[in-house]
Structure 1
Amino acid sequence: MQILTCPSKLRLLETVLQRHLPQALPAYGAVMHINRRNPAQHEVVVDSWPEFKVVLTRPCKEVVKDKQDYYANFHTAFYLDVDAWRTLLENAGAIDWGKAFQLQGNHDGIYEVAKEAVAAKEVQLTVTPYFTYLNLNPDKQPEPRLDPGFIFSSLNSSHIDLLNETWHYGGSEHSRRYLANMVRCFPSTCILDSNGHPISWIIMESLGTLRHSYTLRSHRRRGYSSMVQRAQAIRVHAAGFPVYGLVALDNTPQQKLLVSLGFQRLSELCHYCIHSAASQ
């Protein structure tokens, strides 16, 4: 196991992961951000180099100060060999099992091997599967027309409380801190009404994913969600990132919306694995 710190090696890793898209999407998005000023302060672990079989991205040690804060402790994994993934997960230096953390990946084995590991460590595991939707050419969609007085903008720190109140997984200080970090570090798109208040928005997060899409209930069924997601997709695509998003399996309206915007659903599920710290 080794931590990749050499810029040339990290750029090479990005190129190699690109060849394994779309399966490598979460790890690829994380590595792209690491190679572009690393706003989330993440690092890359591989089982070996240059002939690697496993890639693990994780926060640098100084990032996660609260051992219960799994929002901040975000990992991704991509592997070419499931046994190599199992071996890395058992390595004491790969993951700090004394802290709560999230692990995301598009392999079924991400979940299966994680389940084996937590059984041995007596750590609680919660797994949520998501559909992954990918858009290879978001520029094909027609230009939206906003209502008079409404404008496209970006989210800022004054909007964090609203985001935390409306997000399904929000409402805590941990989630608020996470959202504040995403808004500060990554591109976002929102529509502001004539009073300058956000009514619909979406954020790009540390894995390059389009997440946290929301439209206030009083402004729904007017096409605003479609507008912000299209605008954000074009912005992300122009920056060279893959345009992809995760959708809950039962969120049929969002699935239909993404299809209408030119997204295609991938065959493999993306698994969000939340591991609770052993002290809980």
Structure 2
Amino acid sequence: MLLIRTPVMLQALERSLEKGIPESLKVYGTMYHMNRGNPFNLEALVDRWPDFHTVIIRPPEQEMTDDFDHYTNTYQIYSRDLETCQEVLELPGTVNWKQSLQFQGLQPGLEKVIRKVAASKSVQVQTTDTILYINPETLKRLAPSLLQRDHANKLPLKTSRPKKEIDEGKFKPSTMEVDNAGLVNGLWSFGGNERSLRFIQRCIRHFPSLCLSGPEGTPVSWSLMDQTGEMRMGATLAEYRNKGFISYVAYHLTQTLLARGFPLYSHVARDNPYMHRMCQAMGNVSIPCGWHQWNCVPLASSR
């Protein structure tokens, strides 16, 4: 694998990945942040250059020091050729299969490849498969051909404002603070542990976020962004649900991020009808390729 180092090559890789949207969006979004400060200190590898087949983005080896921290040991992956992708994953030095890790990608075909290589490495795989939503203005800018016909007839297509109004005198919009990470960690379906807490703190520290704070000054609803450019970890405290708070937060954070040129997308669990309705009401478009995460644990590992 070749490590892409120079700014010119990294920018060229971003432009090339844009042509593969939506399947490349997870890697494209990560490259977008890498080319604008790289706050997670990530590195991009390709199987060849410039006509690559497979791209893998990962942290540098010196940062993946905790063999059980799959939040840090994360690999974003996109491939134009799944056969050569298998060869890449088998190459020494590309993936540390002795660690607990996760792959993230938007290609269903990666499932078979990852499981085949993992089996040869005595690694157990758990798959998470959810619905991918892309912001309509992101689609217009990066992949207009993906817009559905009924959406295209309504151009210009914009993010829809929530119908419910929020009393901003009582509930104050603000950015999340690192000290609020525990609230997020307690409600995030992928979290609830010390390693996920550190990941959330890092996201709050480096990327835009938005919350609504209640009368006591504590966040009651919030949305964050991760290192791949995805809007994630949105939630509302139980006693404040069904009041339109998360719609307010998602809409206003979206406006901030669009103004900065970020590609915007998110995922929703299949059994979460409220969030599906919210995404659709905002004009977000569900994409057939879906959102996928593969958590890999060596069979010899113990926590």
Give the partner amino acid of 1:63: E
CA–CA separation in structure 1 for the residues paired with 2:219 and 2:134 = 26
8 Å CA contact retained: 1:100, 1:275: yes
Match of 2:175 in 1: 154
Match of 1:141 in 2: 160
Give the partner amino acid of 2:160: Q
> For 1:52-80, what per-residue CA distance to the aligned partner results, in whole angstroms no more than 9, with x for missing partners?
11111111112222110001111111111
Displacement after TM superposition at 1:110 (Å): 1.3
Give the partner amino acid of 2:86: R
Give the stretch that moved more between structures: 146-155 or 202-211. Answer: 146-155
8 Å CA contact retained: 2:128, 2:292: yes
2:194 counterpart (173, 176, 192): 173
CA–CA separation in structure 2 for the residues paired with 1:75 and 1:126 = 15
1:189 counterpart (201, 210, 223): 210
Displacement after TM superposition at 1:278 (Å): 5.0
Displacement after TM superposition at 1:169 (Å): 2.5
8 Å CA contact retained: 2:160, 2:281: no
Give the partner amino acid of 1:102: Q
Displacement after TM superposition at 1:140 (Å): 3.9
Displacement after TM superposition at 1:139 (Å): 4.9
- In structure 1, stretches of 5+ residues that fail to align are none
8 Å CA contact retained: 1:139, 1:234: no
Displacement after TM superposition at 1:135 (Å): 1.1
Give the stretch that moved more between structures: 2-11 or 102-111. Answer: 102-111
CA–CA separation in structure 1 for the residues paired with 2:9 and 2:222 = 36
1:260 counterpart (264, 270, 281): 281
Displacement after TM superposition at 1:196 (Å): 1.3
Q: Alignment identity in percent?
A: 30
1:204 partnered with 2:218: no
Match of 2:40 in 1: 40
Paired residues in the alignment total 280
Match of 2:50 in 1: 50
User: SS of the residue aligned with 2:247?
Assistant: helix
1:273 counterpart (270, 291, 294): 294
Q: How does 1:196-235 map onto structure 2 within 5 Å?
A: 196-235=217-256
Q: How does 1:51-200 map onto structure 2 within 5 Å?
A: 51-137=51-137, 139-142=158-161, 145-147=165-167, 148-200=169-221
Give the stretch that moved more between structures: 87-96 or 143-152. Answer: 143-152
1:28 partnered with 2:28: yes
Give the stretch that moved more between structures: 33-42 or 59-68. Answer: 59-68
Q: TM-score, normalised by structure 2?
A: 0.89
Give the partner amino acid of 1:126: Q
CA–CA separation in structure 2 for the residues paired with 1:239 and 1:139 = 16
Give the partner amino acid of 1:248: A
> For 1:79-138, what per-residue CA distance to the aligned partner results, in whole angstroms no more than 9, with x for missing partners?
111111111111111111111111011112211100001111111111110110011238
User: SS of the residue aligned with 2:211?
Assistant: strand
8 Å CA contact retained: 1:68, 1:277: no
8 Å CA contact retained: 1:136, 1:242: no
CA–CA separation in structure 1 for the residues paired with 2:269 and 2:104 = 14
CA–CA separation in structure 1 for the residues paired with 2:123 and 2:36 = 34
Displacement after TM superposition at 1:240 (Å): 1.3
Cα RMSD for the two superposed structures: 1.4
- In structure 2, stretches of 5+ residues that fail to align are 138-156
CA–CA separation in structure 1 for the residues paired with 2:159 and 2:119 = 47
CA–CA separation in structure 2 for the residues paired with 1:145 and 1:63 = 44
Displacement after TM superposition at 1:168 (Å): 2.0
User: Which runs of at least 4 in structure 1 moved beyond 4 Å after TM superposition?
Assistant: none
User: SS of the residue aligned with 1:175?
Assistant: helix
Displacement after TM superposition at 1:157 (Å): 1.4
8 Å CA contact retained: 2:45, 2:55: yes
User: SS of the residue aligned with 1:75?
Assistant: strand
Match of 2:19 in 1: 19
Give the partner amino acid of 1:168: S
